[in-house]
Structure 1
Amino acid sequence: MAASALAASAAASQSMKNREILDAVGTTAAALSLAGSSFIVLCYLLFRELRKFSFKLVYFLAVADMLCSLFTIMGGPANAFYCFAHDYSAHFFCVASFLWTTTIAFTLHRTVVKHKTDVEEFGFIFHLYVWGTSLVTTVLRSIGSDYGRPGTWCWIQQGSTGKILHLITFYLPLWGAILYNGFTYYQVNRMLNNATRMAVGMSDRSSQSDVRADKKAFNRWGYYPLILIGSWAFATINRLYDFANPGHKIFWLSILDIGFAGLMGLFNSIAYGLNSSVRRAIAERIDMYLPERIKRSLPTLSRLRSQQENELTSLIVESNNSITETTMRVTPRSSLAG
Structure 2
Amino acid sequence: MDSRSLNNESRCVFFNSSSKDNRCAVILSVKRATGTFSLVGCVFMLFVIWLLRRYHSLAQKMILSLTVAAFFDSIAYVMGETHPKGSLCNFQAWWLTYFDWSALAWVCLITLNLYLNLVREISTNRYEKFYHLMAWGLPLVMASLPLLRGCYGPAGAWCWITDDHVAWRFGIWYVPLFSLIFLMICCYGRIICVANNRMQSWRGTFNPERERRKVSLAAEIKPLKWYPSVYLLVSTFPLVNRLHNAFYPEEPSFPLTLLHVLSAPLHGLANAFVFGLDKEWWSLLSPTGLQLALQSRLCDRTRIGEYYPGAVRYTQADLIDPSDDDDDDTNVLFYSPDMTLKDRGP
The two structures have a TM-score, normalised by structure 1, of 0.77
Match of 2:247 among 224, 244, 249: 244
The answer to whether the aligner puts 1:234 opposite 2:237 as a matched pair is yes
8 A Cα contact 2:100 2:268, kept in partner: no
Cα 1:148–1:223, aligned 2, differ >3 Å: closer, same or farther? closer
Cα 1:204–1:275, aligned 2, differ >3 Å: closer, same or farther? same
**Residues 320-331 of structure 1 aligned to structure 2 (within 5 Å):** 320-321=340-341, 324=342, 327-330=343-346
The answer to whether the aligner puts 1:313 opposite 2:297 as a matched pair is no
Q: How many residues align?
A: 295
The one-letter code matched in structure 1 to 2:344 is M
Shift of 1:68: 0.6
The answer to whether the aligner puts 1:17 opposite 2:9 as a matched pair is no
Structure 2 unaligned segments of length 5 or more: list them. Answer: 1-14, 296-318, 320-330
Cα 1:240–1:151, aligned 2, differ >3 Å: closer, same or farther? closer
The one-letter code matched in structure 2 to 1:35 is V
The answer to whether the aligner puts 1:178 opposite 2:200 as a matched pair is no
8 A Cα contact 2:192 2:224, kept in partner: no
The answer to whether the aligner puts 1:87 opposite 2:93 as a matched pair is yes
In 2, distance between residues paired with 1:53 and 1:255?
38
**Residues 249-288 of structure 1 aligned to structure 2 (within 5 Å):** 249-276=252-279, 278-279=281-282, 282=285, 284-287=289-292
Q: What secondary structure does 2:168 align onto?
A: helix
8 A Cα contact 1:32 1:266, kept in partner: no
The one-letter code matched in structure 1 to 2:262 is G
Q: Deviations over 1:66-123 (max 9, x none)?
A: 1011011114235611101111111100111011001110111001001112x11111
How big is the alpha-carbon RMSD for the aligned residues of Structure 1 and Structure 2? 3.0
In 1, distance between residues paired with 2:91 and 2:160?
11
User: 1:294 aligns to what?
Assistant: none
Cα 1:46–1:328, aligned 2, differ >3 Å: closer, same or farther? closer
In 1, distance between residues paired with 2:54 and 2:268?
23
In 1, distance between residues paired with 2:59 and 2:125?
9
Q: Deviations over 1:131-174 (max 9, x none)?
A: 12101111112244456768632115231xx2211111111221
8 A Cα contact 2:151 2:161, kept in partner: no
Shift of 1:24: 1.3
In 2, distance between residues paired with 1:288 and 1:101?
28
Shift of 1:215: 2.9
In 2, distance between residues paired with 1:171 and 1:20?
27
Structure 1 unaligned segments of length 5 or more: list them. Answer: 1-9, 291-305, 331-338
In 1, distance between residues paired with 2:106 and 2:23?
34
8 A Cα contact 1:79 1:150, kept in partner: no
Which has the larger helix fraction?
1
In 1, distance between residues paired with 2:89 and 2:248?
25
8 A Cα contact 1:37 1:65, kept in partner: yes
Cα 1:15–1:174, aligned 2, differ >3 Å: closer, same or farther? farther
8 A Cα contact 1:71 1:86, kept in partner: yes
Q: What secondary structure does 1:248 align onto?
A: coil
8 A Cα contact 2:142 2:172, kept in partner: yes
In 1, distance between residues paired with 2:284 and 2:140?
35
8 A Cα contact 1:275 1:311, kept in partner: no
Cα 1:141–1:211, aligned 2, differ >3 Å: closer, same or farther? farther
User: 2:112 aligns to what?
Assistant: 106
In 2, distance between residues paired with 1:113 and 1:62?
25
Q: What secondary structure does 1:155 align onto?
A: strand
The answer to whether the aligner puts 1:40 opposite 2:33 as a matched pair is no
User: 2:214 aligns to what?
Assistant: 211
